[in-house]
Amino acid sequence: MNVSKGWVLGAWFAFLLACVVVVVRTDFTADLSAFLPRSPTPAQEILVEQLRSGAVSRLILVGIEGGATDALAEVSKRLAASLRRQELFALIANGEDAVSDMDRDFLWRNRYLLSPAVTPGRYSVQALRERLEANLHLLGSPVGMFVRRVLPNDPTGEFMALVERLQGASRPAMQHGVWFSRDGQRALLIAQTRAAGGDIDAQQRALAVIRGAFAEAAGDRTASLLVSGPGVFSVHSRERIKNDAWRFALIATALVAGLLLALYRSPRVLGLGLLPVASGALAGVAAVSLGFGAVHGITLGFGVTLLGEGVDYAIYLFTQSTPATAPHRTLERIWPTLRLGVLTSICGFSAMLLSDFTGLAQLGLFSISGLIVAVIVTRAVLPVLLPPGFSTPAADAFGPGVVSLARRAPLLRLPLLAIVALAAVYLTLRGGSLWSDDLARLSPVPARDQLLDQQLRRDVGAPDVRYVVVADSKEEQDALEASENLSAALERSVRQGWLEGYESPSSFLPSVRTQRARQAALPAAETLRENLHQALSGLPFRPNLFDPFLKDVAAAKEVPPLDRASLEGTGLAMRLDSLLVKRANSWTAMLPLRGVSDTGGVTREIGAVREGHVALLDVKRESNALYHTYRREALAYSLLGAGAIVVLLFASLRSPRRVFDVLAPLAAAVIVVTAVLVASGQELSIFHLVGLLLVVAVGSNYSLFFDRQMPSVQDRQRTVVSLLFANMSTIIGFGVLSFSEVPVLNAIGTTVGLGAIMALVFAAILSRREEVG
């Protein structure tokens, strides 16, 4: 006995140690894209990539408010200067210099390759004459000074056209030389991190640097800092989920511990009661870490919910033990029922394991491995550690009362039937979908933060990135050519008034074919000299003024075409990289649209473009569609899980009638909980579905125990009391979660908390087992 005891404990310790080793090395993430699928359509794949690591994901919007305008502007300038020295950021913009000197220099040197105006007719005598006369007029006008400086090199005005296009149509308002919101209350700054938005550690560092730099820049001025953006959201969400998970885990543990202490009046038993759960949670985290490489914060938060079911096993054992029987005897007696309960739960959770939702699959794996370990610890370790002759007074104290309640419960059958019927009718007649397909509802970002984000986005004039035209091609050059053709189509759409504007990778890097065509359009040196000579006759320009122009054109005709490397070091390179992305087997050009008013028109125009695989992506619709697919899939898996439970019950109980008895309370609970949730105004998400699955998994234990044949009244009493205690711990575990503001935790907590009570009460009401003795 002692030897085998030693082996059991030794094996258990070794297992826990191994788990700890794994857990210590685990990465914890809160990447929201874990709640995006793994195998979507190509367009959705691009979307998910963009959300995870695209330029959009790397944007941090900064607002500085709460002071006098000139003070805010000063803080903005100091902050920008300090952030520009940081390696973390690829771009810092606050309006001080919309186009940097390096960008200007690049545009200036390569104007003949970059300007769309470079076409064969542009250098004829007549065209040159027109440009020269226009320039003469400009010299007398407001822009004269600027024209004067560039005129000798660029009489056709390519450079100015490029700068104007780059500065874009929508720019924030300016005050004291920096960007401000329209109402002048807030100075604005944009930071783009080098690291992906999904790299939360890097985002957190960037955020800390911004905060530090702001404190320094503000000095003793009164000003407050606002930050927003996908990375900021990820960082805050991780914090919030971590906080909630820990806080609620601690609160629930304390409450459950209090309950156990009150029931069993023994710190030792309390400690033993928590052992299976603690071991299970540890094993669950370790299993997820091994299976997925990282553990999502939400999975961790789910540890609390495991408490709900895991503690039950110990409670069944403790409460049903009597002084006369050794703990392992009690276990042998309840084991078949307990085992079936665990298997039922595992069937339920397997459904989640199959999900494409990485987050859900993690929850599934976590729960399954956690429950298996918890039940094994209950079976093998607890009897070894329980004092001999252990019994709880609680069972005897509560027993008679609880049992008499349970005995009278079946009187409520008719009212229950009426309630279930009512709920079912309500759900059927209510019409419309029960489910919300708005992904935003799942976002752990509080509404006020989302509002701030929208405000800053509007102030800055950042694209809302709802519509993006995407072209996928095998080669980089094909993608660039596709984006040139798309630009032409979008240009036509702008003229039609279907959209306000767009960005295209080909503005920063034209395809080699186009660059060659522009070079070919530039006339030979002699021709140009002769044309210019004729065009200048009678105009007051100084002789030889335009020699630099002749030289620049001759040089531009000969230079090798630009490629990505030519842009290195400029701000343009970063903008190009955000619009032209190299993927595993292809190149994707992205053209974000601004102010779209007619998607149909735009779709028709871009439909004519043949290069590559072209699509207009509606990000909001795609992500919601994505989620819709997901939810349908989760529903299918849940039904599959439910089917597996039925099969399992048939195989174990071998009686349709008993299977019905076990399932009826669960079905009733699911229907009524759903109706209550819907009636209280909740739109059901995928997480409510998971909650319902848990109701079935946890509730099946109750009805299985109710269904079990009892040898004596005492046994009956102990069983019913153990169910009540188990139920209380479940309600505590999940009920606490329903106070979380994180939608995932809240949805699961509310659903399971409600469902667990109902499952127990309904099981008592519907129980057909007559008391023995």
Partner 1 sequence: MTCGNRLALHHLLAVLLVAAAGAGAFASPVTARPESWGVEQLMRSLGQVKSARGRFVERKHLAILDAPLELSGTLVYTAPGRLEKHTLRPKEESLVLERDTLTVSTGGQRRTLVLQDYPVVWAFVESIRSTLAGDLQTLNRFYEVALEGTEAQWHLLLKPSAPKMQSVVSEIRIGGSRNWISTIEILETEGDRSVMTVSRDAS
Report the interface residues with partner 1, using CB under 8 A: 97, 101, 104-105, 108, 136-137, 139-154, 159, 163, 167, 173-177, 540-542, 545, 548
Q: Which is nearer to partner 1, 155 or 229 (CB)?
A: 155
Q: How far is the CB of 221 from partner 1 (least distance, A)?
A: 20
Q: Closer to partner 1 by CB, 161 or 635: give it.
A: 161
* Cβ atoms within 10 Å of 767's Cβ, excluding its own: 21
Which residue number, 57 or 135, has a Cβ lying nearer to partner 1?
135
CB of 540 to partner 1, least distance (A): 5
Q: What is the DSSP letter of 294?
A: E
Helix ranges (DSSP H) in 230-326: 230-264, 267-292, 297-301, 303-320
Cα–Cα distance measured from residue 510 to residue 488, given in angstroms and rounded to the nearest whole number: 13
CB of 113 to partner 1, least distance (A): 16
**Least Å distance between CB 112 and partner 1?**
14
Q: Cβ atoms within 10 A of the Cβ of 429, count?
A: 7
Residue with smaller CB distance to partner 1, 309 or 459: 459
Please compute, for residue 697, the number of CA atoms within 13 A of its CA located in the half-sphere on the CB side: 33
Question: How far apart are CB 142 and partner 1 at their closest, in Å?
Answer: 2
User: Kindly report the CA angle at 72 between 70 and 75, in degrees rounded to 5?
Assistant: 110
Nearest residue (CB) to partner 1, 148 versus 329: 148
Backbone φ and ψ of 656, nearest 5° = -55, -35
Structure tokens given for 388: 């001999």
Residue number, 132 or 252, with CB nearest to partner 1? 132
Amino acid at 528: L
For 178-194, the three-class secondary structure string (H helix, E strand, C coil) is EEECCCCCEEEEEEEEC
Count CB atoms within 10 A of the CB of residue 631: 20
Which amino acid is located at 138 in the chain?
L
Q: 668, 692 in Cβ contact below 8 A?
A: no
**Contact (CB, 8 A) for 183 and 63:** no
Q: Are strands 224-228 and 59-65 parallel, antiparallel or unpaired?
A: antiparallel
Task: Give the separation between CA 767 and CA 765, rounded to whole angstroms.
Answer: 6
Q: Which is nearer to partner 1, 133 or 771 (CB)?
A: 133
- Least spacing, CB of residue 177 vs partner 1, in Å: 6
**Minimum gap (Å) between residue 140 Cβ and partner 1:** 5
Which tokens go with 703?
A: 């009805």
Which one, 15 or 541, has the nearer CB to partner 1? Answer: 541
Q: How far is the CB of 144 from partner 1 (least distance, A)?
A: 5
Smallest separation (angstroms) from partner 1 to the CB of 577: 23
Which candidate, 228, 227, 111, places its Cα nearest to that of 510? 111
Give the tokens for residue 281: 């949670």
Q: Closer CB to partner 1, residue 431 or residue 540?
A: 540
Whether the Cβ atoms of residue 752 and residue 734 lie closer than 8 Å to each other? yes
Judged by beta carbon, residue 535 or residue 669, the one nearer partner 1 is 535
| Burial readout 94-118 (b: 16 or more C-beta within 10 A, e: otherwise) | bbbebbbeebbebbbbbbbbbbbeb
Q: Give the nearest distance from C-beta 521 to partner 1 in angstroms.
A: 22
CB atoms within 10 A of CB 174: 13
